[in-house]
Amino acid sequence: MSTPGSADLQTLRVADNALWEAGPPHAVFAQLRRECPVHWSSGISQTPEDAGFWSVTRADDVHAVSRDWETYSSAENFLITDHGVPMDLLKGMFIGMDPPMHDRIKSLFQRAFTPKAIAQHEAAILEIVGRVLDGLEGREECDLVLDVAQPVVARVIGSFMGLDPEDDKPWAEAINSLLGFGDPIINPLGMEQIVTELIPPMYEKCMALVADRRANPTDDMVSTLVFAEIDGDVLSDYEIFAGFVLLMAAGNDSTKATYTSAMRALLEHPDERAKLLADPALVPGAVEEALRMFPAFAHFRRTATRDAELGGCPIRKGDKIAMWYPSSNRDEDRYADPDRFDVTRNPEHQAFGAGGRHFCLGTALARLELQVLVAETVRRFPTMALAGEPTWVVSQFSSQLKHLPVRLATTNEGGAS
């Protein structure tokens, strides 16, 4: 029996859409950390594909799973929900591989992501953010998701990958559809149509770029991938495409999600925003706090390659395991008052993964982009205020706001917070 206000953990299915309509179910996660930190949710259809999964909710356990790739493999599928994304595409991405193949391909990508390589994009990011914010001039209200975050992240990753600006929109739509599979408004097409209608033109566009860079190399990401060699091997066309989709997906929604969650938190916590206005050097710490409290990806999955034990629970070979970052990042054993948004906390966190082979490749790019976005938005619109209820994308994977309506400038009388 469950007590009032708490879930019945025997029957709880952590991935039920009903729990995720207003973002991650933080109260449920807090209960799980307290009462059952490694929890089994049974599947609905009881088919082998839907046999259920383990939820790992405490930071130490997430860390243990993330580091042990030999027991907890990424190669089956890195998501728990049945999304219908074609398996050959998922398996072609190195995020869905184990060593040694994973390490080989990741190292080819890594050279474009060194802090030095990323620092070279700073001027472009400043220009893109400045231009998008300039575009708000004369407006009283806007939606920070659609009017700021989306065009900025699409152009930043687009310029990083060497895309023409007119391709930003179709790529962003395709990626939003791929990642927003739980949400019929974000993804009205359904996965079958995505596979037949969206993916083929993405592949064509990517291959056109590959052909162009083979003939006319530049210093962009695609040129790096086309010519990268390890022990005489180069990437196949499909490996390049899968890697391309992976970077476009990872670079689009994650940064958009974190920026909009950070802005929402700042608008809801005027004292914290005032600290940033008084001392912009606090912005990087504020970004880390937003990453901690609102991790853009709610989970990544592993699959047990052998029987094991985790938090006293018997894990069987073949079991699915979800590492829930919205939970581990609020683990009371690591953070005092974990639900409090505090721009001076400067926390370590697991938003980029919890260590191990699959640790996020894009941290330097994401941090730079987020810092510029938050700093510029707060500086240019010091009296911005919420202008309506933010709404969430309903997804157990891509944890982000769908809309964040704001008033750009407010007067004291108008209730600027």
Structure tokens at 13: 């299915």
In contact, 208 and 237? CB cutoff 8 Å = no
Instruction: State the minimum distance, in angstroms, from the CB of residue 322 to ligand HEM.
Output: 11
Instruction: State the minimum distance, in angstroms, from the CB of residue 7 to ligand HEM.
Output: 25
Binder among 297, 341, 381, 397 for ligand HEM (CB under 6 A): 297
Q: What is the 3-state secondary structure (H, E, C) of 180-193?
A: CCCCCCCCCCCHHH
Please say whether the dihedral angle defined by the alpha carbons of residues 258, 261, 267 and 270, taken in this order, is positive or negative: negative
250 near ligand HEM, rule: CB under 6 A = yes
Radius of gyration of the chain (CA): 21
Instruction: State the minimum distance, in angstroms, from the CB of residue 300 to ligand HEM.
Output: 4
Taking CB under 6 A as the binding criterion, the range among 134-142, 304-312, 357-365, 377-385 that sits at the site for ligand HEM is 357-365
DSSP state of 18: G
In contact, 267 and 190? CB cutoff 8 Å = no
Binder among 258, 260, 329, 410 for ligand HEM (CB under 6 A): 258
**Residue closer to ligand HEM, measured from CB, 31 or 255:** 255
Minimal CB distance to ligand HEM: which residue? 362
Please say whether the dihedral angle defined by the alpha carbons of residues 25, 27, 28 and 29, taken in this order, is positive or negative: positive
DSSP β-ladder status, 141-143 and 405-407: antiparallel
Find tokens 């985790």 and name the residue: 310
Binder among 32, 172, 262, 365 for ligand HEM (CB under 6 A): 365
222 near ligand HEM, rule: CB under 6 A = no
Binder among 65, 362, 395, 408 for ligand HEM (CB under 6 A): 362
In contact, 374 and 301? CB cutoff 8 Å = no
List the x/- string, 68-87, binding to ligand HEM by CB under 6 A: ------x---x---------
**Residue closer to ligand HEM, measured from CB, 61 or 408:** 61
397 near ligand HEM, rule: CB under 6 A = no
Structure tokens at 307: 């029987």
Instruction: State the minimum distance, in angstroms, from the CB of residue 46 to ligand HEM.
Output: 27
Rounded Cα gap, residues 314 and 297, in angstroms: 26
In contact, 61 and 38? CB cutoff 8 Å = yes
Query: What is the binding site for ligand HEM (CB under 6 A)?
Result: 66, 74, 78, 94-95, 106, 157, 246-247, 250-251, 254-255, 258, 295-297, 300, 351-353, 357-358, 360-362, 365-366
